[in-house]
Structure 1
């Protein structure tokens, strides 16, 4: 059902909401939690339901030290949208709605009673924005035994390669949080996975193994696999199904459409509770607490060097102050320079601390605007360099990497990607919108044909020269673009 929604030709509106939150990037609308994994599928357990309380109980596992703020959201469901579960920001603390609704405490969901659905529903939700730090997640103690035994359960039928892969991906991690971040990053960034809503969902115990081998799928594959792998590592996990935050409108509301349908894993950390992760590339947003540098494990209250003679705090920005989560992810922050005490020997001149601080600021002002361009060049080089093994699988991987580069390059020049299209239709759309001439247009069509060959042919014959064809298309895109658009594609590429 979720795959059908993602592949609809029209992004029909499901919900519209208005919220007091300053940002909606973390305002996923959650429908139901799938907490029972039998090796063949993820399902929602049958649990006892109660009347909806005026004030929902505090979220399980959430401690007082975690930063929390309250958000009010008014939601309107489309008249055609009939769903048994009520989409809610998580975790909701109060729900005001008319009709026959019941509350399921374990998953914190509202379910319709005696035929009640979301059709045309108008409701108001007070929810919590939970903002744990990486340190709080890393220091989380073990989950209660009842919760751990239920939410780390995997069936004997699960192929051993799933657990073996999970251990390999998380090698070197010293706690559950580091393991969770490594899993998320492997799926979303470094593992070579590709988002594709056209692939078969699959079923049975081999579905995850097939996905791990082929490395292409949509949110169902990514969330189900990460949750299963987390369980094999002893991390309590389940899968949430709902919608990503939607698209802001000119009138201040936010529209949520069919193509915002999504699934994501929730992992449990004692002191924080059920915590969202985002392993699906190009969908949703990765939470800030997963973008921070992994804690070193060294207690921060134990000095590693002899204290200096002065205990005055330095006004100079440290590496952590001036380094955004994205920069940390790219590894461009560098270490903090050792600060020497200012003894005032310069007689009012600039101290070493000031020189270092202003120099660092100047470097940041120069480097930060160039990061998208540098990152984009690095990605393009990696995708098109043609290096690697010479097996048939290696050739297939290179063609798919070249295809990603082609669609990202078109995006840089203003042709928004549409994942619902086949490669052939996507190229036809690209050629039409960009106005490509004969030679670049033909090169783009050759790339599409090569992609079709490796994806759908019974006996694929990977074509040669695909990287050169992509470069030819990029040159054509650049030639057709105006000066302003070329600068934008170079300095602020949309795909980066």
Structure 2
């Protein structure tokens, strides 16, 4: 086994340092340096495999295959330790995450809200990036650069670390992480390293070598000083401020589309009619007056209020991005006291997660939801969360949040509404605008106008959920026709769905940024630890944004349920003449036959006592996939070698005798020796014996041959001379001679195989060499 030259080792260290400087830029995405463990593991694995491939004289393809195996086998404890078996061994989940993160992690990281903590495989991204750059760079350093050590080739090798540096910028945020320090350090190290390769092809000694070294030091220092000075001046003059930094997450729209799901407000009556007494959630940590926020809707189409889709959301509407446990902060909010909630879902089934205020962290606790943590989306401006894989009975999570401070009306008299860009309201009924002006009256400030509208609706309307027990029917829905009906009937009758929708439209007609929020308002007593939220607690309210304050809530739904009845005179009945009815026809159909349901379930689908538990399949997959990665390539190589051997044992005896030597040379090459490409058998034998002596294997071969049960191996030069005589004597070669030559070749091969050690024997099983 050869050793790496000192200059190659220094080149590898320089490339590793440059790669580390580049990948540290991922800190702005992950929020801290926890990802560095995965990145450093990627650097180490890629570098060591490339170095091992060079030292063991493996081909490039074999080295890459070995690197892939190391990537999967060694990556789990550094990227996904929680999914590892015994904390170290890869599992089916971690192997899938390593593959999925390398392919799709690039798209995920630019749509995930920072700090990036989900999906579970996201740490595979820096691991893969560092592994790939270090593997390719080290292969070039050990195999390509030594052939011609020039500044141009050194410049090519800097491309990999530079791409890592660039990816840290593009995948990060508009806040740079020590950009000046990292940039100057990267440039200085790269320039010094490249400049040091100038003139390495010039041979000099004595005084000439000293003079050449002085020139390189002087020139390199001048270049570095000039680069640092120019870079510093250019950075001061042209460096963008944080909001102007180009990052991909600002250009790419999150893929989640709320319009794929029904509007939460359209299902309002389901809670009051079908789930009125059902326990939807059990919540711990609520305080009196708290309301659970389910969904925030800022888009109206004329049929319903809905959450704006990614193409319609305004510049200030936020957006639903993938998040981890840490939730991003809202841009406009005056946050007050903190809530630590624990929510267990009961009869509720949808995709929206109930929250309170604006969350700071959300952790899924149950096994199913935790496995789908990558499906969690959060909108910090709306304060609402979505689990796209579904929320149903058994979902369990913890939420830390802060509630919005609610200022008094007097405190908002001189406060303007916020200047926000929200989705436009379409097809708003004309009566809403007319009623907005009527209810606002002579109020001057926005808060007075909004409170006047809230009071007019709350005191002038009546509450009805459209139940059979209600005195007056109330139609569901909040489209333009239903809002028109609300205002044009003799009495305003509806529930929170209609009143909140109507007030939000009226506020929008006045030019104020308003939205509808649907949620639950359970009764909470002082000191109550656990609250059961039922369907009858459902409600909706309106929020309007005020400058520097945040979203202030308005609750226009009235409490009055006794709707005055309208007296309408009954029409007088007029007697009708009697008409003889025809006789009743007899039905002859057989109505006594009962419907029989036939069980068509296939017997194979029924439970079997021999059904294999899921954990068994998981364990088999966790062990079988790594084993397949290691042993399937080995099996393929063994089959190719067996076919090669069978082919050489066919044909004339002279050819079979010569093929015995070809088989020996190929086996030696696969063990890491370097037989001459163009040489006679004697020349090849001498070259191989010389390498055996240089590596100290000659004595070990004699020992292993003496201990073996087969024939003692002959010297390679003697075997080569004997085969030359068999081939060139001109006479026929007997069958027993062919068998003897193959036996001698196999003995020589077996002796060297035993002498080289386990590692080289193992690697040789992956190598194929056909000597032409």
Q: Normalization by structure 2: what TM-score?
A: 0.34
Identify the residue that residue 181 of structure 1 maps to in structure 2: 451
- Counterparts in 2 of 1:159-238, with a 5 A limit? 159-189=429-459, 191=460, 193-198=461-466, 199-202=474-477, 204-214=479-489, 215-238=492-515
Identify the residue that residue 58 of structure 1 maps to in structure 2: 329
Identify the residue that residue 398 of structure 2 maps to in structure 1: 124
Residues 462, 163 of structure 1: CA spacing in aligned structure 2 closer, same or farther, 3 A cutoff?
farther
Structure 2 distance, partners of 1:262, 1:462, is 38
Identify the residue that residue 46 of structure 1 maps to in structure 2: 309
Structure 1 distance, partners of 2:570, 2:525, is 42
Which structure exhibits the higher relative contact order, with contacts defined as CA atoms closer than 8 Å and separated by 6 or more residues? 1
- Residue of 376, 382, 386 corresponding to 1:107: 382
1:13 aligns with 2:176: no
Tell me how far 1:279 sits from its aligned partner: 0.6
Tell me how far 1:248 sits from its aligned partner: 4.9
Residues 35, 9 of structure 1: CA spacing in aligned structure 2 closer, same or farther, 3 A cutoff?
closer
Tell me how far 1:42 sits from its aligned partner: 0.8
* Secondary structure of residue in 1 paired with 2:434: helix
Identify the residue that residue 134 of structure 1 maps to in structure 2: 409
Q: For each residue in 1:43-87, what CA deviation from the matched residue of structure 2 results, as whole angstroms up to 9, or x when unmatched?
A: 111235323244433323225xxx722122221111x42220100
Structure 1 distance, partners of 2:532, 2:443, is 39
Kept in 2, the 8 Å contact 1:184–1:226? The answer is yes
Residues 169, 217 of structure 1: CA spacing in aligned structure 2 closer, same or farther, 3 A cutoff?
same
- Residue of 77, 81, 85 corresponding to 2:352: 85
Kept in 2, the 8 Å contact 1:264–1:279? The answer is yes
Tell me how far 1:137 sits from its aligned partner: 2.6
Structure 2 distance, partners of 1:129, 1:9, is 27
Structure (1 or 2) with the larger CA radius of gyration: 2
Tell me how far 1:245 sits from its aligned partner: 2.8
Identify the residue that residue 32 of structure 2 maps to in structure 1: none
Structure 1 distance, partners of 2:326, 2:414, is 30
Identify the residue that residue 364 of structure 2 maps to in structure 1: 97
Q: How many residues align?
A: 279
Tell me how far 1:233 sits from its aligned partner: 0.8
More strand by share: 1
Kept in 2, the 8 Å contact 1:33–1:241? The answer is yes
Q: Which moved more, 1:195-204 or 1:80-89?
A: 195-204
- Residue of 442, 461, 475 corresponding to 2:569: 461
Tell me how far 1:184 sits from its aligned partner: 0.9
Kept in 2, the 8 Å contact 1:24–1:245? The answer is no
Identify the residue that residue 695 of structure 2 maps to in structure 1: none
* Secondary structure of residue in 1 paired with 2:519: strand
Q: For each residue in 1:255-301, what CA deviation from the matched residue of structure 2 results, as whole angstroms up to 9, or x when unmatched?
A: 10011112211111121212221111129xxxxxxxxxxxxxxxxxx
Residues 124, 154 of structure 1: CA spacing in aligned structure 2 closer, same or farther, 3 A cutoff?
same
5+ residue gaps in structure 1?
Answer: 284-396, 402-450, 455-459, 464-496
Tell me how far 1:462 sits from its aligned partner: 8.8
Kept in 2, the 8 Å contact 1:59–1:273? The answer is no
1:31 aligns with 2:294: yes
Identify the residue that residue 563 of structure 2 maps to in structure 1: 400
5+ residue gaps in structure 2?
Answer: 1-266, 311-318, 467-473, 572-772
RMSD: 2.8
Identify the residue that residue 289 of structure 1 maps to in structure 2: none
Residues 179, 10 of structure 1: CA spacing in aligned structure 2 closer, same or farther, 3 A cutoff?
closer
* Secondary structure of residue in 1 paired with 2:350: coil
- Residue of 233, 239, 244 corresponding to 2:521: 244
Tell me how far 1:235 sits from its aligned partner: 1.1
Identify the residue that residue 443 of structure 1 maps to in structure 2: none
Structure 2 distance, partners of 1:239, 1:9, is 22
Structure 2 distance, partners of 1:164, 1:58, is 38
